[in-house]
Amino acid sequence: MSTADNYYEPYKLPAGILALLVHGVFFALLFFGFSWQTLPPATMSVELWRSLPDAPAGKPAQPKIEELAPPPKPAEIVEPDILIPDKKIQDKKVPTKIVESKPVVTNKKTVASSGGTQTGLSGEQQQAARDQAEQFAAIGRVVDEFTGKIQNKIKRNIVMPPNVPNEARAEFLVTLLPGGTVLNARLTKPSGNAAYDNAVERAILKSQPLPLPADVTMFNRFRELKLVFKPTE
């Protein structure tokens, strides 16, 4: 045997142990890694029901019933007792008495005692009624007087066109201002002859200021005048 075969290599033993450890660790990693990845899947449990469970039994809510008051009883109709007159009384004739109605005078007013209706007024009331009637009559006379003056002044200024029939009749609504100035003259009903209507309108405007009463409180009665014009008047 040569000396080379008997030579001892001291580093071979630790290298072999290290190789064994490395292989052991490698196989351990493979084993545990494979077992960790192949874990069984989680299971799910499902319960099957043939029918839904019954709801808990409970008493249903009862509706409130309000007690209605009984209808009122109809009033009892009491039939009057019918008295049968005695035949002897019927045979007798009862004389009728005529009572005359006499007027009764109370507080200067004449009142009929039977009907109670008023047939007269007191002296003061009668005097007030007479004064009011006289005032209205006086106002009416003033209105008629100045209305006639206004129409006469307008007629004097009408330039009559030819061939105007006598039955022509033109109506105007004249609006006045204080002092007699004409604010507007509107033809409300034509006469049928345009020339005559235009002549009357020109005469109305030419006649201003129209005559009015001196009392300014009466102007409201002349603010709007309805005037009628005919060729024969």
Threshold 0.75, pTM exceeds: no
Residues in the chain, pLDDT under 70:
1-13, 32-120
CATH architecture of the domain formed by 127-229: 2-Layer Sandwich (3.30)
CA distances 191 to 163, 184, 215, Å, are: 13, 19, 34
Q: Which residues, at least 6 apart from 88, have a Cβ–Cβ distance to it below 8 Å?
A: none
- Model confidence over 62-107: pLDDT tens digits? 655 555 666 666 666 655 555 555 554 444 444 444 444 444 444 4
Task: Confirm if 199 and 172 have CB atoms less than 8 A apart.
Answer: no
CA distance 198 to 205: 11
Q: With the C-alpha atoms ordered 124, 126, 127, 129, is the resulting torsion angle positive or negative? A: positive
pLDDT at 114: 42
Q: Look at the chain and count its residues.
A: 233
CA distance 10 to 15: 10
In the chain, domain spans: 127-229
> How does DSSP classify residue 162?
S
pLDDT at 12: 61
Amino acid at site 231: P
Task: Confirm if 172 and 200 have CB atoms less than 8 A apart.
Answer: yes
N-terminal to C-terminal alpha carbon distance within the chain: 187
SS3 59: coil
Q: Which two tokens stand for residue 38?
A: 């192949």
